[in-house]
Structures are given as C-alpha cells and as structure tokens.
Structure 1
Amino acid sequence: MSSVKLVELRQDRRLIDPNFDGYKLSLDTIPTIKHELTTPPLRAKPSEEQYSFLHVELFSLHNHLVQDPWDRLSVYFINAQGSIQKCTYCLETGRPKPPTVVYKLPSTANRQPGDYNISFKFMSEQLCLLCDGCNQIYLLETGDRRKSAEWKVAFKSDISQDHRNFVIRDAKVHNEGEIRKINFVLHRIGHREGEGNFTELLWYTITESQTKVRTLEYKETFCGKGSINYCALEPRSTGIILCSNKSFKAVSVAQEAEKEEGSATNGEETPSADSSNQNFAWSQTDEDITIKFACRPDVTKNDYKITCTKDKLQVKCRENVLLDNSLFSKVDTDLTTWTLENDFLQLTLVKDVSTLHWPFLVSGGPPESTDAEKDCSPPVGPPVSNLEAQMEECDEPTQSTEEEFYIDRIDHNTLKPTHRILLGSRPPLFSTCLRPGFPPAIATRQDVDACLWLLHISPTNPENWTFRHEGTFNALGYVEASKQQKKFIDCSPDLNYAVICESFRHIFIYKSKYDTANMLRNRNGPQVSIGKQQLVTLEDAGEVLGMALEDSIAFILTEKFVLYLQINVD
C-alpha cells in the first residue's frame, strides 16, 4: 500500500448551508398515477443454501427498475414472462404512455432456485448489455429508444464454464481507432470450504472489429470478503473504482505474490521475518499515534535508541531491533516523545495531517488496538454539528466501529490500487447517475449532511484523480440514519429533491428549500432556511421492488403497480 496515493474528499463551502434548520412536514398531496400490472415483475429469490448476509444484500436490494440515462422519462423492468417492459411518462400530457414490450428473453423456464435476478445496463444511446442471472450475456442493439423500437441481439455468449449466477455491476463502451470495446463487470457470491462466502467481481471485454466480428475476453477477477457499496468503471475503462469495508485484490496479482513469497522462502537467503513488526500495540486519535512496547525488568532508559524521521520509525533495545519500518503517513518529528514507565515503553507521534485515519501503522504490523481501557481510542460515531447537542440513537454507526470503508481506484494495466479515499466507519448512503456514460456520483455522510461526489479526472495529469463535491442535501445523513426500514435512496439529477423509500408502506420526499418558509429567523440570530418533507403512503401495493427519479417524476415499481409520483406539479 506504500505506492497508493491517499485522496481527501474536500467539501465546497459554497454548497453547504450553515443556517439550515431542519425539515418541515408538508401536508400537500403529491399527485400519484397508478398503473396496475397484468404480469408481476420477475423476481429471483435465494435458495436455502444462499443464507449469508452477502446473498441477502444481493437479492433483496436489487433495483428491478432501470432508468435510461439518455431518456430519463423512460424506465424498464422485466416481468415474470421474461419480457422487458418500457414505461414512459409524457410531460406534455402529464400522463404516462401505455407500457410497451421492447424485448423478450428466449426462455425463463430453465431458471433454477438460487439463480440471480436478470440485470441490464445502458451503455450508450443505442446499446444495452443484459445478463440473464445465470450464465449468459446479451449485447442488445436498441436503436433509438425514444421510438420504442424492438431490440435486437447483436452478440450472445456464455460467461463461464466453472461458475453460474452473475449480475452486471457496470458496463462501458469506447472506441480505440476502428475497434469498439465493451468492458463490463459481473458480480457473484462465491464459496470455499473452510473460508465461507466471499464476493467476486469478474472483468470481461467484448471486442468488436471493423467487420462486426465480436469476441469475449476474460480480463481479471477481484476477490474480497466484504460487501460492494460502489462499483464503477472509468469512462474509457482505464480503471475500476470499488467501495467496500474489505480489501479486494486481483486474483492474478495475489497468485504472483504468493509465488514470489514461496520462492523467497525456498531460497538460500531468506529475508528477515516481520515478527519484529508484531511485538507492539498501537492506537490513534485524530491528532496523534500512541505505540506501546512491553519492557523486560532489567532494561533501563539508556538501553533504548529511538530514531524517528518524517515517515520512518526505528526502535532498538540494546542490539535487538524492535521496529524498523516506514510509517503509513508522515509525522511531526519535533513533537515526537517517548517515556518508560509501568514496564512499558510508550511513544507518542503527532500526525502531520490531523484527522487522517491510519488503517495501519507499518506494513505487516498488527491492527490498531481496540482495548476499551485505553484513553486514546477514537470517539464512537461521527461528530455532530452542534457540540452541545446530545448524541441520539440514530447517530450511532450501524456497523462495528472496527470496520473502515474506503474507495479504491484499481488500474487496468497493473491491476493494483493507485488511489484510496478513506470514508471512516460509515458506508456510502447511495449512488446515482448524474451524467450519461459517466460513473455514478456517490453520496457520503459529512456531519449530518449528505454530500454528493462525482469523479474528476484530469486528461493531462492522470495522477490528479479525485472526487469533486457536486451538491449537498442538508441534514439528509441524519435523516437517513433514523429510517430503519429504508430500502432505496436516491436523488433527482438536478439535485432538487431526494427520496427515501421503505420496503412496503412509506415514501419520504425531501427538498432542501421550502417555498413558504421564507424570512424565518432564530431569536437574535441569522435568517434560517427550512427544508420540505412530504410523505406518500402506499396502500395494498405489495413490496417495493425498484425506484428511479427524474427531475419532476419519481418512478416506483411494486409487486402490483408502477407508480408515477409528480413531484414538481404547480
């Protein structure tokens, strides 16, 4: 990880409202149009063997409603007969158009218990990639989708002879001269005896020659134990971006590392073991690092020699090297101190970049100590905007505080991480498509707000890779934490409103501005702004299976209906 560049998410203060004073419930009715389904959506369910948390996420959080990024007033879903139905809302008439079937899968009768949901992604204005949830991939030529023409199969192939069941996480198309390349990432849950379940991401490429000859090529598999909170290919597939609470490694890179380690072990000269990197405990706060070594009774302060530079630490006791390695990040050498007391050698290093969380102290060293008795443990949960306010139950992180979420950028040539963004103990809130053909924006909780970040790449300087602050939903991070029954979260492309949708009954709509709340002020304070909250209650609609948002329309797919919520109707 020493070659990985740490990237910081920097908020744009112009997009933050310090005078926001919460949401006010509006009793205004949201006009809703219901279209009853004659055939319910096709929904896969896990088998008895698919009981892990990874399987539950994969099946229950699947969004069955797919929006066309190039025509946001059109959404698609697959019904139980294997037909892709298109639902379009017409702004001119204020009514939805009759649903149409644009493609029908050859057969769904061969599906087995435990097969994944059918998934598809729009890659351009005329191309779509579909996976049947089993073992086949379809490249579909859709034509001009605004004309509702029938889709045609341009390419079809089996994915793997060794595995079954996949869903598409992302797909991108670009041209290299006269050759067109389609890169896509498939997601599946694997299992190994003795290791349990794990997540696999498989990277494939479809190459199309000038004569329309297409070939499918396997590129790489990434494996990890954690959930996938975000997965996207860069615009020209020069890298893959992953967000998880566990590290994901390319299988080929891991195998090569094992071979090198094995050859080094079998050689005549073996490198010194890293056991010296395991004989201490360490912890951190926002400002400093504390390291403790156990001392023998016969040693004194004069027996120790400690050398600390900006990015390296060496600790020696007489002739024994206790630690000699590069640090994760830089420290302020002028403020480094150490003491010898209570049979412990204790070092205190001051971080050069305060608030930067260190996932490890030195490469190969022990993880951060979680001893509850130490006084240097970090505070639980994120800070609140008002330090005098009491922490509430919904502010507590739902995951263990030992888990750390991060975003990794993995290069397509080296298949190794090049950039990393540390997110702390909270996963992203949601991801949403803001620009067609571009990686989705990712929303994270910053204090009580939800901030949207969009990938920014400099064409002339690939090292200048970061996520740029695109917008803020005031206090939505705090609101989201209080919704225990939430299933889907998204926002409109114009960032005018956000929606939190429960599994069965309630849909919450949040707007950052309430038109009737002008000129409100705190006593002896500045003018405050109020957001607007609206509520839609679903009656006898069945479980919510999908959601998609447009600037003025929210599409909701349930077991019985397609709902059109007219958000911005005067």
Structure 2
Amino acid sequence: MCQRPEVLKLSERQYSLQHVKAFGLHNHLILDPWNKNCVFYVDSQWKICLVSIDENSRASEACPVLAVPDSSYKKNVPDRLCMTLEFISAELAILADGAGTLYIIKTGVRTSGSAWEVLHSEVVLGEDKPFLLRSASLSRKETELEIILLHVDTKDDGFISILEWLSFHSDDGTKWAVTQSRRLEGKLSPDHVNVVSDTQSLYLSGEQSFKFVYDSINPVEEEDDKMADGQFLPTLGVKQMRTLSYSLL
C-alpha cells in the first residue's frame, strides 16, 4: 500500500543561492508522456506509486510499482535530495534516488500497474553524493542513452552548480555501461536542461552560462569563457558534439 508523498526540506548546510535555485522547488508528481492518464509519485516509504485517472477525471487508489532498494540506509545519507524520475520510452525510465544512486528501470506497460525491474544501478558520482536527474534521452535504436545530473559543490570558498553528462551504451537493451562522462560548471542551476541522444546535443537556458571542465575522452582546452548577453557558448575541446549553452541574461 502506498503512503503519502515524501517531502524533504533543505538541510542547514544547503543554505546558498545555488542550493535554493537547484533544489528549492520540487514537483512531486511525475507525468508519463506515453500515458496521459497516468501519474506517479514517490511515497514516504520509498515506493514509486501509480495513480490512474479515468475518463471522468477520477483518481484511482495509488498502486506501488517499485520499492527503491536500500531505503533504510539511504534515507540517512546527509543532505539527500528528493527522488527524480523521467520516462525515456514506453517501457524504460531513469531514476535518481537523491542519495547518490542512478537507476535504469524496465517498467513494462505502465498502465498495467505491474512491478518494475531494475536493469542497472550505479553510484555514478561517488559514495553518498546526492544529485538530481535533470534530463535523459534514449536514441531511436535504443542502444545509446544520455543523462544529465545536477549537484552543487564547493569551489574557491563558495558554491558552484555542476552538470554531469553521462553517456551509456547497451548492446541488448538490458545491460548498460557508461562510455563517456563530461562535466560542466556554472554559477547557478539552469532553468531548462534538455539533452538529445541522437544528435549528441545539450541545450541549456538560464541566468548564467556554463563551461566544460572535464571530458573522459576528449581533453578540455582552456578558453576564455566570458560571454556577451545572448551569446552561444560552444563545446570546449569536444569536436564531435553539437553542444550549446545559452545564457538569457
């Protein structure tokens, strides 16, 4: 049985403007682009719950479809964040548990309310490193997956917002592995993040620009990152990607 949605508040150490901008607002309802009459949420017991809406706009009783693993331990991770979930196909989803673990999940037909299956789980940024899922995209052949994660860290006696861009590959759609990782840094969390797998493109919009600082395959070259208002920032040292970062202000 599902419980009420889990609601977290920022900790005393998450006091900066960067933390508030990145984590201060959270929508606890997750829509399914493939099923307009389904909505999901994470309850206080770390179960992902399905609520169906009928033709008369009446909501069904919440039905659990997945119990997120290791909840008793991960609930005690310092400064953990709300879970973030995104559906990337009719039968696949990406979940960040807010305590440092990323999941690739086979949901099956989501309208059925059947149990979901975890295909891949990984502590991608190091132990107890909380992050949010900001965008995910699956290629048309369903063999390539791009994921953007957001976290806040310290730098030069202050805080910065960091986007981690992870590329996954699978030969059979069940076993996934990271093939490339990239890191971008900026002063504030972007308002909009969208990654497109088939074109290897990343689109950002927000108050501040971002720059590449790390790439596991292509070394990042040091360049002047000063930008005029409304100017596009090209990929730094990544020649084969059509990656754009756009600053609105």
Cα distance in structure 2, aligned partners of 1:409 and 1:180: 26
Q: Which residue of 1 aligns with 2:153?
A: 190
Paired letter, 1:140: I
Q: Indicate the SS of the match to 1:72.
A: coil
Structure 1 residue 76, shift from structure 2 partner: 0.6
2:40 corresponds to which residue?
76
Structure 2 residue matching 1:128: 3-state secondary structure: strand
2:164 corresponds to which residue? Answer: 202
TM (norm. structure 1) is 0.39
Report how far residue 84 of structure 1 moved.
0.7
Return closer, same or farther for 1:130/1:422 CA change in 2, 3 Å cut-off.
closer
- Which residue is equivalent to 2:201? 239
**2:69 matched to which residue of 1?**
106
In 1: Cα distance, 2:165 partner to 2:244 partner: 19
Contact 1:237 1:412 (C-alpha < 8 Å) held by counterparts: no
Q: Partners of 2:139 and 2:29 in 1: how far apart?
A: 25
Paired residues, number: 243
Bigger Rg, which one = 1
Please state how far the C-alpha of 1:420 moved relative to its aligned partner.
6.8
Change (3 A) 1:252 1:201: same
- Following superposition, the deviation at residue 161 of structure 1 comes to 2.4
Alignment map for 1:432-471 (pairs within 5 Å): none
Indicate conservation of the 8 Å contact 2:21/2:188, yes or no: no
Using structure 2 for the length normalisation, give the TM-score: 0.85
* Distance in structure 1 (CA, Å) of the matches to 2:87 and 2:234: 23
Residue in 2 aligned with 1:249?
Answer: 211
Deviations along 1:242-296, one digit per CA (max 9) or x if unpaired, are: 112222111137x7434x99xxxxxxxxxxxxxxxxxxxxxxxxxxxxxxxxxxx
What is the CA distance between 1:106 and its match in structure 2?
A: 1.7
Q: Which amino acid aligns with 1:86?
A: L
1:134 equivalenced with 2:99 (yes/no):
yes
Distance 1:38 1:82, change over 3 A: closer
Which residue in 2 is equivalent to 1:221? 183
Q: Higher relative CO (CA 8 A, sep ≥ 6), structure 1 or 2? A: 1
Aligned with 2:59 (options 88, 93, 96): 96
Q: Any conservation in 2 of the 1:45–1:114 contact (CA below 8 Å)?
A: no
Q: Give structure 2 stretches of 5+ with no counterpart.
A: none
CA RMSD of aligned residues (A): 3.1
Distance 1:416 1:225, change over 3 A: farther
Query: For the residues of structure 2 that align with 1:87 and 1:409, how far apart are their CA atoms?
Result: 42
Q: Could you tell me which residue of structure 2 aligns to residue 115 of structure 1?
A: 80
Structure 1 residue matching 2:161: 3-state secondary structure: strand
State how far apart, in whole Å, the 2-side matches of 1:256 and 1:413 are: 7
Give the match's secondary structure for 2:82. coil
Distance 2:180 2:126 in 1: 12
Deviation at 1:189, TM superposition (A): 0.5
* 1:44 paired residue number: 8
Indicate the SS of the match to 1:57.
helix
Q: Which amino acid aligns with 1:106?
A: P
* Runs of 5+ unmatched residues, structure 1: 1-36, 262-358, 361-403, 426-570
Once the two structures are TM-superposed, the CA of residue 210 in structure 1 deviates from its matched residue by: 3.4
1:414 aligns with 2:226: no
Q: How many angstroms does 1:406 deviate by?
A: 6.7
Work out whether residues 209 and 245 of structure 2, in 8 Å CA contact, stay in contact via their aligned partners in 1: no
Q: CA deviation at 1:128?
A: 0.4
